[in-house]
Amino acid sequence: MVRGWRLKFIDRLTKIDRRIIYGILALVVILPLVFPTALKVKPMTPVEKLYEAVDNIPDEKALLLDCSYAPQIKAEVEPMAIAVLRHAFAKRKRVLVLALYVQMLGLAQKALTQVTGEFNSKAQTNADSIIYGRDYVFLGWTPPPLIPMLGMGESIAGVYPADYYGNQTDTLELMQQIKNYNNIGILVCLSGSAIPKSWVAYAQNRFGVAVGVGCTAVSGADFYPYYQTGQFSGLMVGMKGAAEYEELVEENLEIKEKRMASEAMLPMTYAHFVIMLFIIIGNIGYFIQRRRK
Amino acid sequence: MKKRIALVLVFVFGILGIIPFLIPHPIVQNSDEYIRNDILRILAAFALVLALGSLLKVHADKIRRKKVNWQYSWVLILAFIVSSIIGLFGGVAGTGLLPTSFGSFPFDIQTLYENIIIPLASSMFALLAFFMASASYRAFRARSSEATLLLVAAFIVMIGFLPVASSISLKLPAFAQWVLNVPNVAGQRGVLFGIALGAVATSLKIILGIERAWLGGGD
């Protein structure tokens, strides 16, 4: 009787209904999001290096932000874009934003609108404000990606004769000073694909521009060789990387805004523990069954 | 004859693509700039028109022949037409020729994007977490020593990169970082070299006309 019950239990361990797994996972993700708590994270070296690289952009140079992330990976990468933009604008760095594919333009526009809105709502004077054309330019998109990657080495306005809003690029105040990669302090590529490798192959190898990367957790492992060799000045991996950058921005610049990635750390932690727990349960069941056979 | 022209074009432009990386002379660099900024851009525009035409043709054909799920093709065509009109005449953020707002509700490309594309695409991808949890429970088993090693490494990296890792052990985040920096990089670098050499060999075969599968057909 006891043996039968035990066998049944072991069988159940290996055959948990997927709806139960989905339900538990949904619960541990939704609950902490309903009652958001920003979890403190300790920034790791790759993120610190990226932060320093952006922080150390010389005054006469600009940050080139490639927002090549699609809506699918928005949750992971958008907080990176927002954190980097907050950092750059707070330090009065000049910013150029672009996307290499058309479906990413809306997200870049959204991040820019949010961050410039945050700064401008607190600005007292014109000098405090973040003004389009003076402090930042949204270059938009030009196909295929190879054209801007190589072309900006010679002339940014040549590759983007008009910006995203249809303004003639070379008439904008910022673009009078930022001509090509020589005027770029660092290029930060936010992407979930192999685009950062292409920036290294075309823009860095040929023109020597520094490249920093923010990527999804799943593609992070692919980029470590480039970080180790110094081809990437810094690396922000997944939502945790974004939370670390947010931490650095808040700590060093005292910017108290909503921290999307930090608030997602708690559900992410719980979700990881649930997944690990189910893997352990599955393996326990598997080993007992194997021994029985 | 048709294939020969394509082969000659690939050979010429393949070589022209390599030369600027090797010769820094202004004549070479300027010609390269002209090819990229003018010729390539025009070709890309043609490719875009061709792709859109092809997309519409495939779906129109699907509707005409009443193929499986042909109704969805109507959704695509209608969405295509509506977003094209708004995009072409309404501008990216309500700055175009057409007034793209109903009262206080803006109806420009950015609004469509933020309210339709982002939620749909994000939701699709978010579902992955559930499938991944279920699949890892069913398939991630320590069946062999290699699988066990993978399982252990995955656990170390997963826990090591959680914000609570340092509360468990101060050495855990550093160890997870080491797993990514040393064994992972060693493996990745080997794979990268292999891919790079393979890409060089395949590119040379295509440029020299040895590999012709891309032309289609049997020969």
Q: Name the strand (E) or helix (H) holding B202.
A: helix B185-207
State both tokens at B112: 């469509």
- Which among B134, B144, B158, B189 is the top mutation candidate for probing chain A, defined by the most A β-carbons within 10 Å of its own β-carbon? B134
**Closest by Cα among A264, A256, A259 to A238:** A264
Residue B218, pLDDT above cutoff 60: no
Q: What are residue A76's phi and psi, to 5 degrees?
A: -85, -45
The SS3 of residue B16 is helix
Looking at chain B from residue 8 to 47, which residues have their Cβ under 8 Å from any Cβ of chain A?
A: 21, 29, 32-33, 36-37, 40-41, 44-45
Map out the domains of chain A as residue ranges.
2-35+271-292, 45-258
- Please indicate whether, in this complex, the C-beta atoms of A281 and B137 are within 8 angstroms of each other: yes
Residue B31, pLDDT above cutoff 70: yes
The predicted-structure confidence for A72-119, as pLDDT tens digits, reads as follows: 999 999 999 999 999 999 999 999 999 999 889 999 999 999 999 999
pTM, rounded to two decimals: 0.88
Band the pLDDT of A199: cuts 50, 70, 90: very high
Number of CB pairs, chain A paired with chain B, less than 8 A apart: 146
pLDDT at A293: 74
Q: What are residue A136's phi and psi, to 5 degrees?
A: -150, 155
Looking at chain B from residue 105 to 164, which residues have their Cβ under 8 Å from any Cβ of chain A?
A: 109-110, 113-114, 117-118, 120-122, 124-126, 129-130, 132-134, 136-138, 140-143, 151, 155, 158-159, 161-164
The predicted-structure confidence for A224-257, as pLDDT tens digits, reads as follows: 999 999 999 999 999 999 999 999 999 999 888 8
- Across the range A267-283, mean pLDDT stands at 93
pLDDT at A166: 87
Of B91, B114, B130, the CB nearest to A106: B114
- Please indicate whether, in this complex, the C-beta atoms of A143 and B44 are within 8 angstroms of each other: yes
Average pLDDT, chain A: 92
Quick one: DSSP state of residue A98?
Answer: E
Placement of tokens 């070589």 in the chain = B15
Q: How far apart (Å, rounded) are the C-alpha atoms in residues B91 and B85?
A: 9
Band the pLDDT of A194: cuts 50, 70, 90: very high
pLDDT at B59: 97
The predicted-structure confidence for B149-185, as pLDDT tens digits, reads as follows: 999 999 999 999 888 888 888 889 899 989 999 999 9
Highest mean pLDDT among A64-68, B85-89, B91-95, B178-182: A64-68
Query: Does domain A45-258 bear CATH number 2.60.40?
Result: no
pLDDT at B12: 93
Determine contact: A255 vs chain B, CB below 8 A. Answer: no
pLDDT at A8: 78
Looking at chain B from residue 59 to 88, which residues have their Cβ under 8 Å from any Cβ of chain A?
A: none
The 3-class SS string of B48-114 reads HHHHHHHHHHHHHHHHHCCCCCHHHHHHHHHHHHHHHHHHHHHCCCCCCCCCCEECCEECCHHHHHH
The SS3 of residue A124 is coil
pLDDT at B83: 87
Residue B90, pLDDT above cutoff 80: no
